[in-house]
Amino acid sequence: MKKAIILLSIGAVLSTTASAADAKTKKDSKKDSKTPVVVNPMTNKLDSMSYALGLNVGADFAQSIKKIPGGKSNLDLVVKGFVTAMKGDSALMSKELATTTLRTYIMEEQQKETDAKKIVGEKFLAENKSKEGVNTTESGLQYQVIVPAAGPKPAATDSVKVHYTGTLIDGTKFDSSVDRGQPITFPLNQVIPGWTEGVQLMSVGAKYKFFIPYNLGYGAQGAGETIPPYSTLIFDVELLSFSPAKPVVAPAPVVEPVKEEAPAAKTKKSAKAKK
């Protein structure tokens, strides 16, 4: 009887402990449901390293594959081709054909993306130019006078001081001297053509909004990761001041004095000859 009571007591303790553990697990799970369960099913260090290597390579590759033009791929076939290459098994296509196929696909998808970006920019500018207050220059630059000002205007060779904010047509802000609280000064002929042309229309104190086609901006190359290729750009610009660019004075060439060679010493024989 005592034995039975002891067993029941032990069972009750185990049940209570299990319930408490289960409650704690559920509580922790709710607290941080994203915390991965750390399990290492590998039986030796080589297998553990191999699996870890696969995870690391896979994670990096997963990020890279998202950057392929078009943004799509058949992951099952990607893995199949990867494993085939790793094992050296017989492949469905030669290495040369694989390289050509990949290159051709990327070039075609890049062209599609380029054409799409051009169309979006052209459509935006076509609609924008008909809006009230928007002017279009012969080059295709569009501008809107936000705050007018009278007075002299800078020349392309002048140095200007401005505050500005730059955005893409989808509203993405990529740069702003206003946010930094620090205006910028630069020679006007050393920036993108849209700026060189547009700022010359302004007087000190004026604020303009420029709508710059890609060919007057950063063109087919874009600028880093913030400005994609073929981007139409929007700039809010305030001209604070300008001054003639300082001429670059080349340093005077250093002319070393010509050293005259000393006359050769007269030999005794020459002296005797004169006698």
* Distance (Å, whole) CA 209 – CA 232: 13
State the DSSP H helix or E strand holding residue 90, giving kind and residue range, or none if neither: none
What the block records as the tokens of 208 is 């303009």
Which of these, 229, 223, 231, lies nearest to 110 by C-alpha position?
229
Annotated catalytic, 105? no
Annotated catalytic, 82? no
What the block records as the tokens of 129 is 């130019």
* Distance (Å, whole) CA 275 – CA 272: 5
Single out the catalytic residue among 210, 214, 235, 242: 235
Single out the catalytic residue among 124, 158, 174, 236: 174
Q: Name residues whose C-beta falls within 8 Å of residue 121's C-beta, 6 or more positions apart in sequence.
A: 169, 213, 214, 230, 231, 232
Annotated catalytic, 211? no
Tokens 């049940």 locate to 15
Annotated catalytic, 164? yes
Which of these, 149, 223, 160, 150, lies nearest to 190 by C-alpha position?
160
Which of these, 238, 192, 186, lies nearest to 212 by C-alpha position?
192
DSSP state of 56: H
Burial code (b: 16+ CB inside 10 Å, e: under 16) for 198-220 equals: bbbbbebebbbbbbbbbebbbee
Backbone angles phi, psi at 152, to 5 degrees: -60, 155
Single out the catalytic residue among 124, 175, 184, 236: 175
State the DSSP H helix or E strand holding residue 114, giving kind and residue range, or none if neither: helix 95-128
Single out the catalytic residue among 143, 164, 210, 242: 164
Single out the catalytic residue among 214, 218, 230, 242: 218
Annotated catalytic, 230? no
Annotated catalytic, 175? yes
Which residue numbers are catalytic? Answer: 164, 174-175, 192, 218, 235
